[in-house]
Amino acid sequence: MTGRPNTPGIVARDVCKSFGSHLVLDQVSLTADEGSILALLGPNGAGKTTMVRILSTLIGADSGSMQIAGHDVVSDPDGVRALIGVTGQFSAVDNLLTGAENLRLIADLRHLGRHAGQQRVAELLKQFDLADAADKLLSTYSGGMRRRLDLAMTLVGEPRVIFLDEPTTGLDPRSRLTMWEIVRQLAAAGVTILLTTQYLDEADQLADRIAVLDQGRIVAQGSPAELKSRIPGGHVRLHFAGPDLLGSAAGLLPAAAPDQDQLVLQVPDDGTVDSLRKMLDELHAARIDVERLSIHTPDLDDVFFAVTGSHVTDHPDRDPTPQGAPR
């Protein structure tokens, strides 16, 4: 440790970066307290990966200042490298080695020493449920196993600050939950985590603070609760067979907004079973038949619309898993 208590895990001030004439990061400032999780939320092309690459010493910024656990990224990159672990979007594993050999490689490069290295490797194999596959070549690993090994390799040196670039993109729902659990455990153990994500629910589930990045600018920053207070809540869309039914339903539910063309009534609702049941009972009692309904929970697009007034331009692939119910 640095011996300086309460040094923030990550501080970035006014970071700018251009590739050619394309401004990718425009005065980005971030702070993550030690042991906290900061989510960098934004669509593809917002600059999330570039920010991670700069903070993890892979590429230089054009201007701005950055400290990782008190070490300056520009003047002391090796000091930073000794403290961080990075898991990028593309698996950073060695395909011609076995799982155990991959971990051992990193242990040796972290200069853990033979005994401590072996111990750490065994520990991580167990922790990440890879012990059975330890001596198998990576070509036999599934996508989820590779992700777990990738993260295990990041953790070999017990980093104080971890960067996770879209850690759950492409994972099945089960592996995704496993990954969330690991991230929470790490933060509980005092590790500072910066994770990038395209999914509001992921940021909401994990992060202490969320910074929303849009076209290289931070457009909103705050706790999940603060951020969500700025977005309109979810709603339910009721579809009707005819305009008369729509009309009577609109009369029954005064907060709703009818759409005459599509015969849809949009009702503000948090999507809980209780409120849905209440609404449907009310409609049933008034003998208004609803053809079908769909529930809409707030997502990245709503956040964007709320903070920038425009929709996400580069639509990411939508989350393959159902959106978590808003809490």
Binding to other proteins in span 14-73, by CB under 8 A: 19-20, 22, 24, 49-50, 53, 56-60
**Is residue 73 within 8 Å of 5, Cβ to Cβ?**
no
Q: Residues touching other proteins: how many (CB under 8 A)?
A: 39
Strands (E), the chain: 10-19, 22-32, 37-41, 63-68, 71-72, 84-87, 161-165, 192-197, 209-214, 217-222, 235-239, 257-259, 264-268, 292-296
Binding to other proteins in span 288-317, by CB under 8 A: none
Asked if residue 88 binds other proteins (CB under 8 A), the reply is yes
* Range in contact with other proteins (rule: CB under 8 A) among 149-157, 208-216, 218-226, 251-259: 149-157
Binding to other proteins in span 228-267, by CB under 8 A: none
* Range in contact with other proteins (rule: CB under 8 A) among 94-102, 119-127, 290-298, 304-312: 94-102
Which three-class secondary structure string do you get for 245-311?
HHHHHHHHCCCCEEECCCCEEEEECCCCHHHHHHHHHHHHHCCCCCCEEEEECCCHHHHHHHHHCCC
Here the tokens at position 214 are 């849009």
Which residue number, 117 or 298, has a Cβ lying nearer to other proteins? 117
List the one residue from 109, 225, 257, 286 that touches other proteins (CB under 8 A): 109
Considering just the CA atoms, what is the radius of gyration of the chain in Å?
Answer: 23
- CA 237 to CA 158: how far, in whole Å? 48
- CA 284 to CA 279: how far, in whole Å? 9
* Range in contact with other proteins (rule: CB under 8 A) among 95-103, 204-212, 240-248, 284-292: 95-103
Here the tokens at position 251 are 């009369």
Asked if residue 137 binds other proteins (CB under 8 A), the reply is yes
Which three-class secondary structure string do you get for 195-209?
EEECCHHHHHHHCCE
* Range in contact with other proteins (rule: CB under 8 A) among 29-37, 153-161, 266-274, 277-285: 153-161
List the one residue from 9, 64, 157, 234 that touches other proteins (CB under 8 A): 157
* Range in contact with other proteins (rule: CB under 8 A) among 96-104, 251-259, 274-282, 307-315: 96-104
Which residue number, 135 or 226, has a Cβ lying nearer to other proteins? 135
SS3 242: coil
Which spans of this chain sit near other proteins (rule: CB under 8 A)? 19-20, 22, 24, 49-50, 53, 56-60, 78-79, 81-82, 84-86, 88, 90-97, 101, 105-106, 108-111, 137, 153-154, 157
